[in-house]
């Protein structure tokens, strides 16, 4: 009798229809799926052009436990057909506070002798580490005179920037972006990448404009600005063997892949995929939490350019 009851319970459970991503989000926000769809398409997800993009945005909201109706996140379509999730500052704070090992943050404003703001340093304290994660964002690099918030509240905006980048490094957040990064992604996706020398080029630029002495594969001018890492073979020397054991060949292979992708994708596209502006050296990138996944994502994006 007991076995029959158990079997019946299992059968009921197996036959019970699984909730869709939209159903889950609607239940969490205490709305009907129909009303939620209508509301999201008129607000946070209004830029999604296809049902696939809309569903992708809903899945991301569920993954990070965010409420799009409170402007914690919104989404806009990428040129490749995917969706780019943008988090407001409240969204970043929410997912950071939710981390089990989060132990507080300290934001320090650094000024010059005249009291003018130079930078903001974010120190994220983690329960399982001896030293805090320290990230500094500089005003001269982040200030955007074309945006009213940066002109009116530069200190607040730079604090937000430092917090976001610090949280990203401390907790390994990837695939989500802030407002400023959105504009860079749009710019990067509208550019044409030369797969040979890794330069962004203007579509309107004619072949006659090319330098007459430039050879295929030769580095010229802007290539230096597009370089992400130092020496592609340097990781063979500084490799983190605690992660790869004695398999230095694997470390070298991953390092070379990342270097090559950085050259071909260009700085803006590379940083958009990497999800941060703070990594500037190969050894820093190689400490990324899921390095193999990152390498595969970069290779996949590079292949698209070469098709």
Percentage of residues in the chain having pLDDT higher than 70: 61
Q: Hey, where are the domains in the chain?
A: 20-87, 93-171, 193-203+222-306
Question: pLDDT category, 189, cuts 50, 70, 90?
Answer: low
Label residues 81-101 b or e (16+ Cβ within 10 Å = b).
eebbbbbbbebbbbbbeebee
Query: Per residue in 91-120, pLDDT tens?
Result: 999 999 999 999 999 999 999 999 999 999
Q: What is the pLDDT of residue 184?
A: 73
* Cα(104)–Cα(87) distance, integer angstroms: 20
3-class state of residue 111 by DSSP: strand
Q: Tell me which of 156 and 284 has the higher pLDDT.
A: 156
Query: Per residue in 34-45, pLDDT tens?
Result: 999 999 999 999
* Cα(285)–Cα(52) distance, integer angstroms: 32
Beta-carbon count within 10 A of 80 CB: 10
Tell me what the mean pLDDT of segment 18-22 comes to.
88
The yes-or-no verdict on residue 214 having pLDDT over 70 is no
Percentage of residues in the chain having pLDDT higher than 90: 43
Q: What is the pLDDT of residue 241?
A: 39
Tell me what the mean pLDDT of segment 222-242 comes to.
36
Rg from Cα positions in the chain? 23
The yes-or-no verdict on residue 231 having pLDDT over 90 is no
pTM: 0.56
């Amino acid at each position: 009798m007991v076995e029959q009851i158990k079997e019946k319970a299992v059968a009921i459970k197996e036959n019970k229809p699984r909730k869709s991503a939209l159903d889950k989000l609607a239940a969490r926000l205490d709305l009907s799926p129909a009303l939620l769809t209508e509301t999201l398409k008129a607000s946070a997800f209004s830029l999604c052009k296809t049902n696939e993009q809309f569903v992708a945005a809903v899945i991301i909201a569920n993954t990070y436990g965010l409420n799009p109706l409170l402007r914690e996140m919104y989404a806009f379509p990428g040129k490749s057909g995917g969706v780019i999730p943008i988090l407001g500052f409240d969204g970043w704070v929410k997912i950071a506070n939710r981390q089990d090992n989060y132990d507080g943050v300290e934001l320090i404003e650094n000024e010059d002798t005249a009291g003018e703001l130079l930078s903001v340093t974010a120190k994220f304290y983690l329960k399982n580490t001896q030293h805090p994660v320290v990230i500094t964002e500089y005003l001269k690099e982040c200030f955007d005179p074309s945006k009213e918030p940066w002109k009116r509240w530069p200190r607040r905006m730079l604090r937000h920037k430092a917090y976001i980048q610090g949280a990203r490094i401390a907790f390994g957040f990837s695939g989500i972006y802030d407002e400023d990064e959105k504009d860079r992604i749009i710019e990067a996706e509208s550019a044409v990448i030369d797969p040979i020398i890794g330069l962004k080029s203007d579509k309107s630029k004619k072949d006659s404009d090319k330098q007459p002495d430039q050879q295929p594969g030769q580095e010229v001018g802007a290539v230096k600005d597009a370089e992400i890492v130092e020496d592609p073979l340097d990781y063979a020397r500084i490799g983190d063997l605690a992660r790869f054991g004695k398999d230095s060949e694997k470390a070298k292979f991953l390092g070379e892949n990342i270097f090559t992708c950085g050259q071909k994708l260009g700085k803006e596209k590379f940083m958009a995929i990497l999800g941060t502006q703070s990594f500037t050296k190969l050894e820093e990138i190689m400490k990324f939490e899921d390095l193999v996944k990152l390498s595969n994502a970069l290779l996949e994006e590079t292949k698209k350019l070469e098709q």
